[in-house]
Each structure stands twice: as structure tokens, then as C-alpha cells.
Amino acid sequence: MEIDINLRINQLIEKLGYNKSAFATKIGVSQPVITHITSGRNNPGLEVIQKILINCPETNPQWLILGTGEMLLNNKLKEEQIKALKSDINATILILKKEISKLESKFEKMNEM
């Protein structure tokens, strides 16, 4: 059974932790607009959909418009990229520490002369 866009907007509001009034304010529309959409009285227009996607960038556009995929965009890639960067930074720090140690040894030898 396909869930209509009105219900998906209801689900999104709930998932993001807003009430209808706060959500309306967040996306820049009046509360009655959201109330009419979430009650099923009106379908959202393109402008409302755009405002949702602009002001709630974590929302998966395919899910919102078509009902396919996950509600929220996957941040796993970002997490993996951050983890890789941390690993690269740690490896670089180790290399620099070794180079500093070598330079300190050379400096100590030069002072002994």
C-alpha cells in the first residue's frame, strides 16, 4: 500500500520532533497550510515541497515526493569519510613524530661536537 505525500509529511514532522505550528514556521508557511496538508484536505504544492526540502535538508527528496527509499538521507558516507580523514591525520601525526625524533637526535649529535 502506497502512503500518500500528506501522510509522509505528517511522518516527517513527527520524526523531526516538531509540532505542526513549529514545522510551518521552520519551512516558512502558515500553520493553516500545514494543517490542511496533514489533514488530507489539500495536497502540498511544489512551493511547499521545495520549502520542506530547502529547510529540512536531511529529508530524502525521493521519499518525500515518490515514497521510495528512506525518509532521511544517509549520513553513513559522511561518517565513513570523517573516519578515513581521522585515520589519515593520525598516520600523518605518527610520521611527523618520527621525523621530529630523528631531527632531535641529529640536533643532539651536533651539540655534542
Q: What does the pLDDT average to over 53-77?
A: 88
Q: What share of the chain is helix, strand, coil (3-state, %, to 5)?
A: 70, 0, 25
Query: Architecture of 5-66 per CATH?
Result: Orthogonal Bundle (1.10)
Domain range list for the chain? 5-66, 75-113
**Helix, strand, or coil (residue 97):** helix
Q: Which of 26-30, 34-38, 69-73, 83-87 has the lowest mean pLDDT?
A: 83-87
- Give the integer Cα–Cα distance in Å for 32 and 30: 6
pLDDT reading at 86 higher than 90: no
pTM exceeding 0.95: no
| pLDDT, tens digit (0-9, with 9 covering 90-100), for 24-38 | 999 999 999 999 999
pLDDT band at 106 (very low <50, low <70, confident <90, very high): confident
Q: Mean pLDDT for the chain? A: 89
